[in-house]
């Protein structure tokens, strides 16, 4: 089989030869991208389209057909115009370049566009491969640049690509990393041509520079409650793995463990739940009626949508609020979900101010997030600053009993997230819902407001969003009730 080493395959090969070999030789083993990965791809595509506006008069080269892309590029190089999606083939290496910009009489600049907000090591490897491929094909490369998003850019009317992007000259870093690239490329070409898959042990490389798409397959041999569920980072986990210990229950007594890790081991071995009643009671005593259970859903688009906002700025578009007036009272539910037409923030703030009252605890799960959202809102709408001061003094974080391991059940693994804690402590979860977490909610909302979704799709997604966000605050009520019960 004739196969080329492309820049994405080169990056895969640097991460792990097994991944590269599988992509080429057994592509059916590579899972379809999940919803978040697909969203990141799509976002990158949109960002790339804006970047093309930095080079007026550029030519967009069709790239659906590999050979057509290469042949058209070869023909257009002579025109000395900016080329978008140029395909350069040299022997068995192939690279498609976001932007190839002519300079001087016969030189070119490579401009790679990323939706990140800074230059990362993997970008240098990426561009280094592009430069190597171009030079092998006989092109003279003058500079290499990385165009990334400028986080400080503030939208005003139309998007201005010259403000949205920062073009960083990375020529020196590329030059440095290009030493030895020939050998790396030859090694990876050999990996591709092997008839058997190289055997590579799992390791930290499975997460960097990207979480590997073959994780489930390669990591599938691990038992339930493996040492990779231990709280406290990968260094400890891999040091145990290298000693041949793969199950939490097999960790010998002489291995120093943190308090949290000891609790995990105890719960796994005994099958019990860890509960520190006195400490939980102290936490519950902080809650003052009326209780307001609050949760936001937000989005953070790379390309700002509303005037006055920045790239990736957190924009709340929904909240759910359950109010419990006093002990034993039925919770009353309120919700807000923006219509998707205008900036949701003014109406959201107005509704919150109307509903949150002037006394009583405001309970959120990982309340630092809600507090951060509120503070950012007040920066944009300073007339709410005085109100916010009072709100912040009333906030209570329901995450604390779990992040501090006052309560721990082995099914939580190494996390205290609401999605794990709710089923662990109440037996109820999110399985029945069309939207399963905050990222799903954000992607679903962006899809219905910025794509040509049908009325039916919009209605269905809105219903899912309302159910999902409601469960977040209702779940918190159940958790508090359960904690109270445990402390009796
Ligand atoms: S999961 Fe790890 S070992 Fe398996 S292919 Fe990916 S990087 Fe390699």
pLDDT tens track for 334-356: 999 998 889 999 999 999 999 99
Q: What is the pLDDT of residue 1?
A: 45
Whose tokens are 């040509």? That residue is: 452
Q: What is the largest CA-CA distance in the chain?
A: 82
**With left for phi above 0 and alpha for psi between -120 and 50, is residue 80 left, alpha or beta?**
left
Closest atom, ligand 1, to C-alpha of 218: 4
Q: Give residue 326's pLDDT.
A: 96
Looking at ligand 1, which atom is closest to the CA of residue 201? 3
Tell me the whole-structure pTM to 2 decimals: 0.93
User: Is 83 in contact with 77 (CB distance < 8 Å)?
Assistant: yes
Query: Is 16 close to ligand 1, i.e. is its CB under 6 Å away?
Result: yes
The token pair at 306 is 């509303």
Ligand 1 proximity of 191 Cβ (cutoff 6 Å): no
Q: Is the dihedral of CA 336, 342, 344, 346 positive or negative?
A: negative
Distance from residue 30's CA to the centre of ligand 1 (Å): 11
User: Do the beta carbons of residue 264 and residue 230 sit within 8 Å?
Assistant: yes
Cβ of 14 closer than 6 Å to ligand 1, yes or no, is: no
202 lines ligand 1 (CB under 6 A): yes
Strand order in the sheet with 315-324: 332-337, 315-324, 291-299, 362-364, 395-397
- For tokens 């492309």, name the residue: 6
Q: With a 6 A CB cut-off, is 120 part of the ligand 1 pocket?
A: no
**Does residue 204 have its Cβ closer than 6 Å to ligand 1?**
no
Q: Which of 122, 197, 208, 212 to mutate to test the pocket of ligand 1 (most atoms within 8 A of CB)?
A: 212
| Residue 295, φ and ψ in degrees, nearest 5 | -145, 135
Distance separating the N- and C-terminal Cα atoms of the chain: 69
Ranges of residues in the chain whose predicted pLDDT is under 50: 1
Q: Is 18 in the pocket of ligand 1 (CB under 6 A)?
A: yes
205 touches ligand 1 (CB under 6 Å): yes
Given a contact cutoff of 8 angstroms between Cβ atoms, the answer to whether 241 and 250 are in contact is no
Q: Is 215 in the pocket of ligand 1 (CB under 6 A)?
A: yes
> Which residue puts its alpha carbon closest to atom 3 of ligand 1?
202
């Amino acid at each position: 089989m004739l196969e080329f080493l492309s820049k994405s395959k080169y990056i895969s090969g640097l991460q792990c030869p097994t991944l590269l070999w599988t992509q080429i030789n057994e592509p059916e083993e590579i899972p379809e991208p999940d919803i978040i990965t697909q969203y990141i791809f799509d976002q990158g595509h949109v960002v790339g389209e804006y970047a093309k506006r930095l080079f007026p008069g550029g030519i967009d080269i069709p790239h659906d057909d590999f050979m057509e892309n290469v042949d058209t590029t070869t023909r257009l190089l002579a025109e000395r115009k900016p080329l978008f999606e140029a395909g350069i083939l040299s022997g068995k290496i192939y690279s498609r370049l976001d932007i190839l910009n002519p300079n001087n009489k016969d030189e070119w600049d490579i401009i790679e566009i990323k939706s990140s907000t800074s230059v990362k090591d993997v970008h240098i490897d990426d561009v280094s491969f592009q430069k190597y491929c171009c030079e092998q094909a006989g092109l003279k490369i003058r500079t290499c640049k990385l165009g990334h998003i400028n986080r400080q850019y503030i939208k005003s009317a139309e998007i201005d690509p010259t403000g949205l992007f920062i073009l960083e000259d990375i020529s020196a870093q590329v030059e440095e990393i290009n030493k030895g690239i020939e050998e790396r490329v030859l090694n990876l070409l050999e990996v591709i041509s092997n008839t058997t898959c190289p055997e590579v042990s799992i390791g930290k490389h499975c997460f960097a520079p990207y979480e590997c798409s073959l994780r489930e397959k390669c990591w599938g041999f691990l038992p339930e409650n493996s040492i990779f569920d231990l709280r406290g980072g990968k260094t400890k986990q891999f040091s145990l793995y290298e000693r041949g210990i793969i199950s939490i229950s097999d960790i010998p007594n002489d291995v120093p463990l943190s308090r949290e890790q000891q609790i995990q081991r105890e719960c796994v071995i005994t099958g019990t739940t860890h509960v520190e009643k006195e400490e939980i009671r102290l936490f519950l005593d902080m809650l003052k009626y009326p209780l307001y259970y609050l949760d936001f859903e937000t989005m953070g688009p790379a390309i700002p949508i509303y005037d006055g906002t920045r790239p990736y700025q957190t924009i709340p578009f929904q909240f759910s609020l359950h109010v419990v007036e006093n002990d034993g009272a039925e919770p009353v539910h309120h919700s807000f979900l923006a219509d998707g037409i205008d900036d949701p923030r003014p109406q959201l703030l107005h509704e919150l101010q109307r509903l949150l009252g002037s006394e009583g605890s405001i309970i959120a799960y990982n309340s630092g997030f809600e507090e951060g959202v509120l503070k950012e809102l007040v920066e944009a709408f300073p007339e709410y600053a005085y109100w916010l001061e009072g709100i912040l003094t009333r906030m209570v974080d329901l995450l604390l009993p779990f992040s501090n391991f006052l309560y721990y059940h082995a099914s939580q693994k190494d996390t205290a997230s609401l999605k794990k804690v709710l089923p662990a402590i109440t037996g109820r979860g999110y399985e029945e819902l069309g939207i399963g977490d905050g990222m799903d909610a954000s992607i679903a909302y962006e899809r219905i407001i910025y794509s040509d979704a049908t009325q039916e799709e919009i209605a269905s997604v809105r219903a899912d969003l309302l159910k999902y966000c409601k469960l977040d605050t209702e779940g918190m009520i159940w958790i508090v009730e359960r904690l109270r019960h445990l402390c009796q």
